[in-house]
Every structure is written in structure tokens, then in C-alpha cells.
């Protein structure tokens, strides 16, 4: 059998020739339900991967491009390799995932220091509305086993104008307005005429849309 080498950037993916698919499992044509990968494997009693863990290694393409370092799994059931890479953010312009665009850029954190992170682009242009997702720890009440905590996903919206670091949308109206200093007179006139309160997300979105229409 001819080996098929496929680079898959998702941690887990399964393709079928005749049936629809999604990332949660396989949608069978004759069954109006989604069956998880785990359930599918138990039902078929088929071992999917030769190893459960990602194995470190490298890959050489036919044009002699070396992909290294990387981690691999061999999907024996579908006769293909899967690869997992940790991306160097310094070389990224944009990432497309699930139809959404992401950038890696600077922002001002709650300590008023500049740092870098990934952001999803909600509104694009010279002025951008961005969404940052992060993991935060939430403390639980003290119990018999001491103080416990658990992790949850948090998210905050940011405004980025030009090359300036992104700032939180929850910043004051004065701080937000200062980001639009490139067309300050037109921006101030638009805010006054539309009676916008740009510390409100909906009004800020209107201002971003107007600002990006300016030439």
C-alpha cells in the first residue's frame, strides 16, 4: 500500500471519504448523531495510533525542507502521519483557525507594562478590535484537603490602532480616544455628531468602523 504522508496541524483529526465530519467526531450518514472518536474506537475494537504519546522527531520534505523540531503520531487506522508544532510567534503575520484570524502583538497589561500575546481579530483594519483568551485560576473554599483552586478560561477585548500596543476596551473614554490621534479632528467631530460614548463597546465599534473608512 502506498503510504500517505499528511501534515495535520490539529492535535486530532479524522477524515472519511464518504461521510461528513467535524472536530468532535464522525457524523454517520445512516445515524443522525455524532459519535465521539473514543466511542467509535471502542465499537470497532480498532487501535488507532501506534503510540499514545507524541514522539519527538523531524521531517524532510522532497524539496529538502527540514521541519524540526516537531512531534509525530502515526495513525495506523487511516495510514497517515500527524504532526504537532510549536509556532515561533516572531515569524507570524496571521493565523487562520476555524475561520477566525489571529495575530501576535503587544498589549498593555493590568500592571501597565507592555507584553505580547495572541489575539483573535474581531474587527480588522488600521484600528482593530481584538479578543484575548487566557487561563486564570479561581480559588475554591477551604476544605478537608486544604485550599483548592481550578482553572477556567477568561477573555477580554482590546483596541489596537496602528503600531501602538493594544489597550483594554474597558479603559476610560479619554484613554481610548487618544489612540485615534492620527485623525484626531475627524474622530472628535464624529464622536460629537453621533453622541458616542466610546467606553461602551457598541459605540467603540462604530468609531472603529468609521476610523477604518478614513483615507
Of the listed ranges 9-13, 141-145, 163-167, 179-183, the one predicted with least confidence = 9-13
User: Phi/psi of residue 205, each to 5°?
Assistant: -65, -40
Q: What is the pTM of this model?
A: 0.68
Q: What is the pLDDT of residue 164?
A: 96
Q: What is the pLDDT of residue 125?
A: 96
List pLDDT tens digits, range 79-92. 899 999 888 888 88
Sorting pLDDT into bands at 50, 70 and 90, what band is 176? Answer: very high
Q: What is the pLDDT of residue 91?
A: 84
Amino acid at each position: 500500500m502506498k503510504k500517505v504522508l499528511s501534515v495535520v496541524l490539529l492535535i486530532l483529526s479524522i477524515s472519511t471519504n464518504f461521510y461528513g465530519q467535524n472536530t468532535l467526531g464522525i457524523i454517520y450518514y445512516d445515524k443522525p448523531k455524532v459519535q465521539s472518536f473514543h466511542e467509535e474506537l471502542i465499537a470497532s475494537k480498532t487501535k488507532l495510533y501506534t503510540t499514545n504519546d507524541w514522539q519527538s522527531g523531524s521531517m524532510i520534505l522532497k524539496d529538502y525542507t527540514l521541519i524540526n523540531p516537531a512531534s509525530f503520531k502515526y495513525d495506523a487506522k487511516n495510514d497517515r502521519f500527524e504532526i504537532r508544532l510549536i509556532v515561533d510567534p516572531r515569524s507570524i503575520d496571521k493565523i487562520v483557525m476555524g475561520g477566525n484570524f489571529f495575530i501576535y502583538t503587544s498589549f498593555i497589561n493590568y500592571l501597565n507594562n507592555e507584553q505580547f500575546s495572541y489575539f483573535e481579530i474581531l474587527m480588522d483594519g488600521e484600528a482593530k478590535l481584538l479578543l484575548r483568551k487566557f487561563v486564570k485560576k479561581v480559588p475554591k473554599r477551604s476544605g478537608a484537603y486544604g485550599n483548592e483552586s481550578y482553572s477556567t478560561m477568561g477573555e477580554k477585548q482590546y483596541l489596537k490602532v496602528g503600531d501602538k500596543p493594544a489597550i483594554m476596551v474597558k479603559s476610560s473614554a479619554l484613554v481610548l480616544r487618544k489612540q485615534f490621534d492620527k485623525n484626531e479632528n475627524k474622530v472628535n467631530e464624529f464622536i460629537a455628531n453621533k453622541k458616542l460614548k466610546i467606553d461602551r463597546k457598541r459605540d467603540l465599534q462604530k468609531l472603529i468602523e468609521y476610523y477604518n473608512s478614513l483615507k
